[in-house]
Chains A and B, each alone.
Chain A
Amino acid sequence: MYVHGSFAMLSPATLLQAFCQEERSVYMAARLGPASAAVWIWEGLIVAATCEGIDGPEAVYRIVSWGGGLFTVAPLYASPPPTMAATCEELLLEAARRRDEFGSGIDDISMNAMPA
């Protein structure tokens, strides 16, 4: 059981928030041209991420800046070795803060709704 789609239709931030909100356990793989990324969500927490050779929270900040690309989401049946543990909100807020303070190259954090 997989979900495939395009970030042009559903932004990375919206996608991650949806799975985190419902406290799902999933693995998301994504590609944007030659760049690749992956995020592991376990029971609603982001427990690992990698993007363009970067790991951890920095990888999530990079992914949410992607303006396009394709993704595949699959269920996770066992917890991966966690390299981080963060809620989606705190990662998105930190990405927004960096953009406000440094214009850190995060040009387009998805401005879809932060979850209620």
Chain B
Amino acid sequence: MFINWALGELNLKIVYYGAALSGKTTNLQYIHARTPPHLRGRLISLKTQQERTLLFDFLQLEMGKVNNLKPKFKLYTVPGQVYYAASRRLILQGTDGVVFVADSQAGRMAENQESWYTMEQHLIELGHDIRTFPIIVQLNKRDLPHVVSTAELRHQLDVQQRPCFEASALRGNGVFDTLKAIMNSVVSQVRRTI
């Protein structure tokens, strides 16, 4: 969270986290493409191995002000490959909420679990209480054949009572449901703490 007094904005940071090619970038591209241009910033893209790291910010006018400050969300993806540890740690610092994007395909469970574990480790290292930290789980690629059941995914990732959303980011299904859930969760958390 960053309070920008000069602009009267409350800058909140949401990170899309998950294994390589789980659909994080597709989520952000979809959101950016469907956000009115006057409310969003430039989509910044960095080329990393296999996929791209993206970020952009946007004003959320419908949500109303928080302590008289306009909430502005900045969305980031992390590079999913194992060896981008420093980049992931850098991006996660100062984050207010995380969307964990899980790949529902059978055969991707090990990568999902490894990514979930590293996310928890990074958040703990950064001093967050992961029992209360805003984390929304997106079960992506539900439109593909040979996907694991949602119950099995929840069990394998040990998501406990965290909200889960089924999605097909490529088609846009579930993308904004996930985004709204994390924005509400983050703002609720901010309101509890200020």
Contact = CB atoms under 8 A, between A and B. Distances in A.
Contacts of B2: 21, 115-116
B84 interface: yes
Given A93-B55, A109-B90, A101 B49 contact: yes
Interface residues of A, number: 21
B90 A92 contact: yes
A21 B86 contact: no
Given A97-B46, A113-B93, 17 more contacts: A21-B2, A21-B11, A87-B44, A89-B55, A90-B46, A93-B53, A93-B55, A96-B86, A96-B90, A97-B79, A101-B48, A111-B89, A111-B90, A111-B93, A114-B13, A115-B13, A116-B11
Nearest to B15: A114
Interface string B1-18: 110111100011100000
A45 to B, nearest CB: 11
Interface in B22-54: 44, 46, 48-49, 53
Main secondary structure of the interface of B (DSSP, over half): mixed
A98 to B, nearest CB: 10
How many residues of B sit at the interface, in one of the four size bands? Answer: 20 to 34
Interface of A: 21-23, 87, 89-90, 92-94, 96-97, 99-101, 109, 111-116
Nearest to B87: A96
Contacts of B49: 101
Nearest to B93: A113
A23 B87 contact: no
B93 A97 contact: no
Contacts of B87: 93, 96-97, 99-100
Given A90-B46, A96-B86, A116 B6 contact: no
Closest 4 CB pairs of A and B: A113-B94, A116-B13, A116-B11, A96-B87
10 contacts: A22-B7, A90-B46, A93-B46, A93-B91, A97-B53, A99-B86, A109-B90, A114-B94, A116-B2, A116-B74
A96 B181 CA distance: 30
Contact of A115 (B5, B11, B46, B48): B11
A115 B94 contact: yes
Contacts of B106: none
A114 B79 CA distance: 15
